[in-house]
Structure 1
Amino acid sequence: MALALAPAHVLADPAPIIAMSGWGLATLLLFGWLALFVCALISILLSPHTGGMKIAWLVFAFVAPFLGCLLWFVVGRGDAYRRRAV
């Protein structure tokens, strides 16, 4: 059984490998952002905030998806549970 090797010109040109790694990184970032967005929506809906505050956070998460989700986890989530404890 002979081992099939790639032609020398394929191995000498790194452009296809770099292009594939770029798509892989973009896909990874997209799935990471999507996971952050879904987790933020679930967390907002299950939070002890009142209905009005939940709607405000949901609107903010949909209008500014990345920033809204990050702010929810940094500011909103802690505030919701801190207010509940008081």
Structure 2
Amino acid sequence: MHAFAQQVSLAADNGEFTGGLALILLITVPLLAYVVLVIGALISVLGSPQSFGMKIVWIVLVFVAPFLGSILWFVIGRSNARRTA
């Protein structure tokens, strides 16, 4: 176990983990942004002044096509909900 710790320490000193950390960040940051976008869209739909039926339509769209549905909600649905209210 001690030899493994020394190898990890040497690898860190040589900068061998820099690529791994960059890869983790490259995957984690967009995934986190995606989750925040979808959850934000769902919260926004539920809090909108639209009718119950339109809320269901938007929620189904966000679940069926999460990225596209969320973007469409923020671009089209949200502004339409404000106009009708």
TM-score (norm 1): 0.78
* 2:76 is the alignment partner of 1:75: yes
- Gap runs ≥5 in structure 2: 1-8
CA apart distance, 1:33: 0.8
- Look up the match of 2:53: 52
Cα RMSD, aligned residues only: 1.8
- Measure how far apart 1:19 and its partner are: 2.5
**Which 4+ runs in 1 deviate beyond 3 A?**
none
Identity percentage over the alignment? 43
TM-score by length of 2: 0.79
SS of 2:36's partner is: helix
Query: For residue 36 of structure 2, what is the aligned residue in structure 1?
Result: 35
The C-alpha deviation readout for 1:21-74, integer Å capped at 9, x for no partner, is 011121111111111111110000010110110000000000000110011000
Which residue identity does 2:59 align to in structure 1? L
- How many pairs does the alignment contain? 76
| Counterpart secondary structure, 2:30 | helix
Question: Structure 1 unaligned runs (5+)?
Answer: 1-5
